[in-house]
Structure 1
Amino acid sequence: MTTPKTLSKTLHSPVLLPSPSLDQIAKLITTHPSSLPLRPLLHSLLPPSLLSTSPSFLPSLLSRLSLSHSPSFHSLHLFLYSLITLPSLPLPDLSLSLCLTLHSLSRSHHLPSSLHLLSFLSLSRPSLLSPRVLSLLLSSPKLNFPSTLDLFARAEKIWARAGIPFGPEEFASLLRTFCVRGRVVEAHAAYKRLYSKFPFSQRLINTLLLGFKQSGDVDALDTFYHGLVVRGFEPDSVTYCIRIDAYCKNGRFEDALKLFEEMDNRENCEITIKTVTTLIHGAGIVKNPRAARKLFDDMGERGLSPDRGAYNALMGAYVKSRDMKSAMEVMAEMEMNEVGVDDVSYNMLFCGLNRTNDLEGIWNLYQKMVQTNFIPRTRTIMLLMKTFCKNGQPDLGLEVWDYLVGKGCCPHVHALDWLVTALCCRGAVQEAYRCFKDVTERGQVPSQRAFRVLESSLAKEKEMEKFNEISCIMEDLRASRCVPS
């Protein structure tokens, strides 16, 4: 029997509402109006108790915002809010969160914001500054040679203010930045200009070799390498891996195997999982799945346990040979051994099934992916959307769209192009309008193609109210695109 005392206690007890999930929080942030400040929303969604009990929650949420192509200031505000609200977050999670934030800022070409953030961290959390962070700062493809060197010098001052050494590792990050862009000549020029400031290291030479490899010029790589050997350079495991990878990517698998044997006979060079995985990739390029399988099976004799990368390389070898049955068996083997599949695994299988026109196989694999709550990356989303829409099944594309939006991840605007066009061609104009609104509500600007197709379809349907609405939305988005609140 309920007494007045117990009733009063019940009425005055706090009601414990369930905490929102990662999907719900991501969706609320991405749909938050850009005209309103974000901090009050973050304060209500992310209490310190949630961040402290789930340390990996912050990088997971930032990763989800990146997948949603959310405006970069969302990531910046979220990172700063978490840093100030709960400064005791573990360093690894904060480092990963900083990298995700810088990646978002770099993708949006917000260089001043990146510099201000690093300047703030140099005084408040200097331990977060690292060569990886420097690489992300320098990664904007719009930077020319003088601008990159100037930014490198500004970063050196930030590191000095934090009391952190700025040495060979940071110099290697600069060289790697040029190499990743395929600008090997500029990397070599930067090396000649600045090498006297930094002590020699094996990593610097390997970074330059990596640049020659990424340029695809194996002859230039060999010339540079043999010139170094004449001057007394001793190759290490990384050096051999770079040269083996260069041969593999140029279809010279037999030459790569000879290098592998030479490496195996040297005392100072350890065979690693990465070395064997590179060769498995090479076997796939020349469509030799038998050699790939042998290399994979021989890893156990060397005391190596295959990781996800090795499994993916083996799967890729079967996919390139159009042996989809064996490729699917590799995925089953990964699951049985609890290795875990990633977007690379799914993307390779989807590509292989697409080449063999196996639409049913693609749908079955997609259903399997959904059952595990896996969120694919942009390239896999685009592949699925393009495949379903080109094959006259936009209803399947719409299901993919709804699954992703329900997870708080809004697909790229190019996926919207395919879906809106296919839906409107099938007369599903209301569904196309809904998807269009999903994008605009998250602050993204749809392409002119999607806008014109939907505008024309709404006019034919005499939906003038929605016709005028999307016209006003597009004008507002174009006007405020580069002006974050």
Structure 2
Amino acid sequence: MGGFVRANEPEKVISLFEELKEKLGGGMIYDGTPYGNLMKAYFMKGMEEEAMVCYSEVLGEGSKVRFGAVSYNSVLDALGRHEKLDDAIKLFDRMIKEHDPPRRIAVNLGSFNVMVDAYCIAGRFNDAIKVFGEMGERKCTPDTLSYNNLIDQLGKNQLVGQAEELYKEMGERGINPDEYTYILLAEACFGVDRVDDAVGYFKKMVDLGLRPNANAYNKVIGGLVDVGRLDEAQGFFDQMPEKEVKPNVASYELLLKAYVEAGRLDDAIKTAEGILLDESVAFSDEMKELLEGALRKVGREEDIAKMYEDVEREKAERAARAAEEKARAEALAREEEERKKAEAAAKEAAAARASQAAIEAVLGRRKEAAKEESPDGGSNADDGGILKRLGITNGPVEEKRAENGNVVGASVGDESVKQDGEAKEGAGSGGAADQATAL
């Protein structure tokens, strides 16, 4: 329902309430939540009597409808915004009396903010300041939003001195102003022709490290434009990219209109070129006609075509630069990839060499140990066993021949040589047996 109220669709609010009522059995809804929005819808449709009848039914004597701080605030806001201040004051007093925390919460910070708005709408600003000061008595400490709300109301009604007093009070109470606080103060100062003070508040905001957005910049640009200080306005516009703030279409149009009105058509053309080059904004028909009409009026029709030609040329140059930068980035990426590959290959080769060296070192130590254990100073026949234990099966081993010339050692893992040696050994054994038989 609140969404439809904000969208200014009161019929949908009323329809939704009736639907809710039907789903709950068609009787009275005893939860006070929907009634504030229902009253607002009636007021929006000019149905004041229905709104006040609803108010009497749900908050009159004997009503069983249950309200808390939030639902009370909604009804309070409906009254305050529709010239029912006396009823709002009575309801607020009732809320204060019912408030008995922690058992009963009938008032919160929002209640005071709503009453501040109600008093300001009625033009009773001193009462608004008074009720704002009573927050602390009810253990409702005002926050930045609360201060901004009252500063906004005071500033819009040219009560800048009171607004600045609230700003000072924020500092004394350790409540940090935000970007909106400074923009409200700047707007208030612009409204009473205190232009330098307005600019000062904006600069202070930036100096404090706060980050105003494009709309905030537009406030100071617009304020300066209104008093004819176009160069200063341009300076703030130029500051936006430096502060990583992207201008919006209103930023451009404020300057464009001002330059045309001041007869500074070269600056107007430059601003229009900025719009045409900025892909996030559109050069509206209104602005186009404003500029082109001003140029035609002083006989500068050729500058219209030249402006569009310059823009197209600049776009082409930007595209070419972007392509070059992309190609350069891709080339650097390829170089980096090749470097990483070469580095990985070098590491792999180094690891292989280290592994080979370690194997050879172990092999050398095993050979030396075998020589020391052998009675005749070591036998190369033991190399095969050493290599086998090391897991090396293919490697040359020096042959050793027995006195009868037979091979007793050959290449490790060479099966054909091994079998040939065994055959020769068998033949030798057979010859010895024959000689023994003859003897």
TM range (shorter): 0.5 to 0.7
What's the CA shift string for 1:175-214, capped at 9, x where partnerless?
3332221111122223334655579754444543454466
Aligned pairs (5 A) from 1:199-238: 202-209=32-39, 211-212=41-42, 218-228=48-58, 232-238=64-70
* Deviation of the 1:344 alpha carbon: 3.9
1:257 aligns with 2:98: no
- For the structure 1 residues 341 and 236, does the alpha-carbon distance in structure 2 shift closer, same or farther, using more than 3 Å as the test? same
1:448 aligns with 2:258: no
C-alpha distance in 1, partners of 2:90/2:314?
A: 61
1:433 aligns with 2:265: no
1:277 aligns with 2:118: no
- The residue that corresponds to 1:84 in the other structure is none
C-alpha distance in 1, partners of 2:134/2:63?
A: 36
Aligned length: 300
- For the structure 1 residues 442 and 467, does the alpha-carbon distance in structure 2 shift closer, same or farther, using more than 3 Å as the test? closer
- Work out whether residues 135 and 141 of structure 2, in 8 Å CA contact, stay in contact via their aligned partners in 1: yes
- Work out whether residues 36 and 76 of structure 2, in 8 Å CA contact, stay in contact via their aligned partners in 1: no
2:106 is paired with a residue whose SS is: coil
- The residue that corresponds to 2:128 in the other structure is 292
* Deviation of the 1:228 alpha carbon: 4.2
- The residue that corresponds to 1:180 in the other structure is 6
2:98 is paired with a residue whose SS is: coil
- For the structure 1 residues 177 and 314, does the alpha-carbon distance in structure 2 shift closer, same or farther, using more than 3 Å as the test? closer
- Higher alpha-carbon deviation: 179-188 or 448-457: 448-457
Aligned pairs (5 A) from 1:290-369: 290-369=126-205
1:392 aligns with 2:228: yes
- For the structure 1 residues 315 and 413, does the alpha-carbon distance in structure 2 shift closer, same or farther, using more than 3 Å as the test? same
* Deviation of the 1:264 alpha carbon: 1.7
1:401 aligns with 2:237: yes
Higher RCO, 1 vs 2 (CA within 8 Å, ≥6 residues apart): 1
Which residue identity does 1:307 align to in structure 2? D
- The residue that corresponds to 1:246 in the other structure is 78
Which residue identity does 2:14 align to in structure 1? H
What's the CA shift string for 1:84-125, capped at 9, x where partnerless?
xxxxxxxxxxxxxxxxxxxxxxxxxxxxxxxxxxxxxxxxxx
- The residue that corresponds to 2:309 in the other structure is 468
* Deviation of the 1:378 alpha carbon: 5.7
C-alpha distance in 2, partners of 1:364/1:457?
A: 36
1:182 is paired with a residue whose SS is: coil
Structure exhibiting the larger radius of gyration computed from Cα positions: 2
- Work out whether residues 36 and 75 of structure 2, in 8 Å CA contact, stay in contact via their aligned partners in 1: no
C-alpha distance in 2, partners of 1:443/1:322?
A: 36
TM-score (norm: length of structure 1): 0.53
2:131 is paired with a residue whose SS is: helix
2:50 is paired with a residue whose SS is: helix
* Deviation of the 1:307 alpha carbon: 0.8
- Work out whether residues 212 and 218 of structure 1, in 8 Å CA contact, stay in contact via their aligned partners in 2: yes
- Work out whether residues 218 and 247 of structure 1, in 8 Å CA contact, stay in contact via their aligned partners in 2: no
- For the structure 1 residues 398 and 439, does the alpha-carbon distance in structure 2 shift closer, same or farther, using more than 3 Å as the test? farther
TM-score (norm: length of structure 2): 0.58
- Work out whether residues 416 and 436 of structure 1, in 8 Å CA contact, stay in contact via their aligned partners in 2: no
- Work out whether residues 214 and 246 of structure 2, in 8 Å CA contact, stay in contact via their aligned partners in 1: no
- Work out whether residues 39 and 78 of structure 2, in 8 Å CA contact, stay in contact via their aligned partners in 1: no
C-alpha distance in 2, partners of 1:217/1:368?
A: 48
- Work out whether residues 281 and 292 of structure 1, in 8 Å CA contact, stay in contact via their aligned partners in 2: yes
* Deviation of the 1:368 alpha carbon: 1.8
1:410 is paired with a residue whose SS is: coil
Which residue identity does 1:179 align to in structure 2? V
RMSD: 3.5
Amino-acid identity (%): 18
Q: Where does structure 1 lack aligned partners over 5 or more consecutive residues?
A: 1-174, 475-485
C-alpha distance in 2, partners of 1:423/1:453?
A: 11
C-alpha distance in 1, partners of 2:171/2:85?
A: 29
C-alpha distance in 2, partners of 1:439/1:252?
A: 51
* Deviation of the 1:276 alpha carbon: 0.9
C-alpha distance in 1, partners of 2:140/2:162?
A: 22
C-alpha distance in 2, partners of 1:205/1:251?
A: 18
Which residue identity does 1:259 align to in structure 2? L
What's the CA shift string for 1:359-402, capped at 9, x where partnerless?
22222222222223434456544443332223211112212212
Which residue identity does 1:441 align to in structure 2? D
1:265 is paired with a residue whose SS is: helix
C-alpha distance in 1, partners of 2:309/2:110?
A: 56
- The residue that corresponds to 1:192 in the other structure is 18
2:202 is paired with a residue whose SS is: helix
